[in-house]
Amino acid sequence: MDKDILSQKSIDKACQSMIKKSEKEGIETIWDRLENQQPQCGFGELGLCCRNCLQGPCRIDPFKGGPQEGVCGANADTIVARNLLRAIVGGTAAHSGHAKHLAHILAKSAQGKYKDYPVKDPDKLKAVASRLGIETEGKSIEELAGEVARLALEEFSDKEGPNLWAATTVTKGRVETFSKLGVVPGGIDSAISELMHRTHYGVDADPVNLLLGGIKCSLADYAGCHMGTDLADILFGTPQPVVTDANMGVLKENAVNIALHGHNPALSDIIVQVVKEMEEDARNAGASEGINLVGICCTGNEVLMRHGVPPLTHSVSQELAIITGVIDAMVVDYQCVVPSLANLMECYHTKLITTMPIAKIAGAEHMELNEENARECAKDIIKSAIEAYGKRRPEKINIPDNKCTSIAGFSTEAIVEALKKVDSEDPLKPLIDNIVKGNILGVCLFAGCNNAKVPQDENFVTMAKEMAKNNVLILATGCGAGSFARHGLLTPQATEDYAGEGLKAVLTAIGEAAGLNGPLPLILHMGSCVDNSRAVDIAVAVANKLDVDLDKLPVVASAPEAMTEKAISIGTWAISGGLPTHVGVAPNVLGSPLVAELLTEKAKELVGGYFIVETDPLKACEKLLEAIKERRKGLGL
Ligand code: SF4
Ligand code: MSK
């Protein structure tokens, strides 16, 4: 295949070699299906197609020559806004569904019913409990866990008053702004159902009111993300820096390779815990190197952050993992798991194992997680992978040798710990001083997915290098962080190679003080998609210390290859939190100039943050740097 065509699909060399292999073997991948879909529907792209009732589907003519209203009279603004809101509600349901699952586990753990899920981080449990206003003195860990879990589950209900996970984790200024706009969410499930209600046939038809509803639901999404992070840390431990390798070169021909994929650590963490007990079985089955766990997408991020499980690949390249011919089982929970994986089972020996009752795939084997007996379930799944090892097809095996060192595990707590090495009394001071002095121009959080419409990783890598050159401190989560891992950007060497002088000096000073004998990595990997909440915690701490609100900080966000509904809900809470937020893929809102203007301009007056839509990565950097400089000016820096 032509090299240019290849790099239009992915700039990751390992992925490129597997794309070539798939072509040779006549196997269809995500990029082929994207091509088969061309031309994609222009109405859909612009957000101008509505099928919210059986009188539709209705389409609005963007060129004004045809109908300007659907059968019910809904115009372009209403239809575009409603469609956007239905994406936000999808994202919110997914993030908070993940958090609710963990809350149930914590509740049962506290009752002594889920023995395999003891509290791993009692300090985090106490910190979360205190933040929520729970008295911690004189209570056992089980009592506290029970109270936190009960409160967490109440946060989904039709409760009165603000959602605690949102209200207790942002600045006072944000709470005031949200209250003034009437967008403070109560229960998360209530926010979800309210948004489904108001986007139903014949309910909310005012685009401004609709978008305010979208902001409210996105704040419920934020609450769900933060709860997801908190509860995962309580149950599985708060991440600390770990060193590992990333990319497909981590696969081992002589080991049983098991890929952990999806989002929730509820099963994957247990698999990591029991894998040692199964090594002997693997060796007896002929796998001389035992069992090799690897991660994909955000489940991969969860086990990378807490256990150093090597990240294999992400998002659009998940099919390519199977095409290596050595993945014996791909164990999936939920979210971002493409159904096409099952098609590959015809050509490869890999077992695709679904594990959640809400996420089955026709053609996959279903081995459901039973939390009452999680370790046994995990062992059964590993046994199944060992069986599959014996069915490998040697002629199909081709492991790319690309891999690079990666450092991950930068939870908020770990970052504060590293800063304490510089100033034990006042850990945020070195960070703030360097922002004030201009050694650090600002902070950028890179988040979100890969998207088959964008050459995989190209926007992430181009933008990170450019922002770092301009002395912007970079945080990353989700598949974006995975992309940086696969391209060697989560290393001290990347700091040497790409950081501007000011940033390099700061990362070196902190790294040396932390005993690393060199700088911190160029980019700090903070975890999975829900862990964007960790980045908010840092920004909120800095804002509180400076006594300004979040919308005054030189902090920006970017999802340069955004894809899922979850990315849309996160982007919406990021702008609501006051951040200029870049998206590198045009969202389906351009059919309404009014909605587009509300999101990219008017939002600034309402919440301080706003969307920047720019598909060119270098131009996007210019705009983000401009936004950072404007904020610095506002602070008198
Ligand atoms: Fe058409 Fe209105 Fe029904 Fe949408 S809700 S499909 S615009 S009639
Ligand atoms: S997994 S939501 S493709 S980041 Fe969180 Fe990656 Fe996006 Fe899924």
Give the count of alpha carbons within 13 A of 155, CB side only: 32
Residue 479, strand partner residues: none
Over pLDDT 90: what percentage of the chain?
Answer: 98
Q: What is the pLDDT of residues 163-175, one digit of tens each?
A: 999 999 999 999 9
Ligand 1 center from residue 72 Cα (angstroms): 6
Ranges assigned E (strand) in 135-246: 242-246
**How far apart are alpha carbons 318 and 330 in whole angstroms?**
10
Ligand positioned closest to the Cα atom of 479: 2
Q: CA geometry: angle at 477 spanning 474 and 482, to 5°?
A: 100
Q: Is 478 near ligand 2, meaning CB less than 6 Å away? A: yes
Cis peptide bond prior to 39, omega within 30° of 0:
yes
Helix %, strand %, coil % of the chain (to 5): 55, 10, 35
Judge if the beta carbon of residue 68 lies within 6 A of ligand 1. Answer: no
DSSP string over 242-285: EEEEESGGG--TTSEEEEEEES-HHHHHHHHHHHHHHHHHHHHT
The DSSP result for 441-470, as a single string, is -EEEEE-----TTS-BTHHHHHHHHHHHHT
- Name the token pair of 59: 């389409």
Ligand closest to Cα of 585 equals 2
Q: Would you say the CB of residue 315 lies under 6 angstroms from ligand 2?
A: yes
Peptide bond into 57 cis (omega under 30): yes
For the cut 60, the answer to whether the pLDDT of residue 1 exceeds it is no
Shortest CA distance to 485 belongs to which of 270, 315, 616?
Answer: 315
Closest CA to 475 of 443, 427, 514: 443
What distance separates the 2 farthest-apart alpha carbons in the chain? 72
pLDDT tens by residue, 240-251: 999 999 999 999
Is-contact 584 558, C-beta < 8 A? yes
- Report the chain's terminal Cα–Cα distance, integer Å: 51
Residue 340, C-beta contacts closer than 8 angstroms, at least 6 positions apart: 28, 29, 30, 33, 319
- pLDDT tens-digit map of 480-502: 999 999 999 999 999 999 999 99
For residue 504, report the distance from its CA to the centre of ligand 2, in Å: 29
Give mean pLDDT, residues 333-361: 97
Distance 65 CA to ligand 1 centre (A): 19
Looking at the predicted structure, is the pLDDT value of residue 5 above 90? no
CA distances from 418 to 91, 291, 427 (A): 33, 33, 8
Tens digit of each residue's pLDDT (9 = 90 or more) over 95-133: 999 999 999 999 999 999 999 999 999 999 999 999 999
| H helix or E strand, kind and range, residue 122 | helix 122-131
Dist CA 566 CA 564 (whole Å): 5
